[in-house]
Amino acid sequence: MMLFDGWDELGRVLVMGVLGYAGLIVILRITGKRTLAKMNAFDLVVTVSLGSVLAAAVLDENVSLAEAIAAFVVLCGLQFVIAWAAVRSERVRALVASEPALLAWEGRVLPDALKRERVAVEELRSVLRAAGRTSLEGVRAVVLETDGSFSVVGADEGEGAPLAGTGDRFLALEGVVAPKGLGPAHLRQR
């Protein structure tokens, strides 16, 4: 077991750590907040990969700073292009992002949805407690979001306000996948 490999290696780790970290921060600032958003599986892969590249650059003497920066640019560039395409194409969005799923509707748990999404009833109870609810009474919907988080929509929260400058209503539950026959007409039916 080696506890110390010499000052040269330690100095290299310190310099590469500082420079690699600084390079990553600059690239993340250029590519914007969306690069680290936890929106879908692709975003998670990019975030984990960035950390792996930084760790390899700091600890592996065979990885140069230029190679690490190039890898950062490639990963952030891919994430930028995929996110840009997903905003503009339903087909791309369907490939990289999951859909939000309705787990409870108007006070009723949807057992088939829980099974399909691999969510235990105990997790649903925990979500309700975190939202300050003691039961599903007064809850319009519980939604498993695309990033794996949960949203609890109260029954008193209405059906959406008009979007500025249009007659359209902005509906928070729009696009949520619901079992056939459940929920208002704007929910997608499975």
CATH code, 101-189: 3.30.240.20
Query: pLDDT-derived band of residue 163, with 50, 70 and 90 as boundaries?
Result: very low
Q: Are 111 and 119 in contact (CB under 8 A)?
A: no
Beta-carbon neighbour count of residue 77 at 10 Å? 13
Mean pLDDT of 98-103: 86
Can you tell me the distance from the alpha carbon of 13 to that of 109, in angstroms, rounded to the nearest whole number? 52
- Residue-level pLDDT at 64: 93
**Structural Rg of the chain based on CA atoms:** 22
Upper half-sphere CA count for residue 56 (Cβ side, 13 Å): 15
Q: Which helix (H) or strand (E) holds 44?
A: helix 41-59
The pTM is what? 0.67
132 has a pLDDT exceeding 80: yes
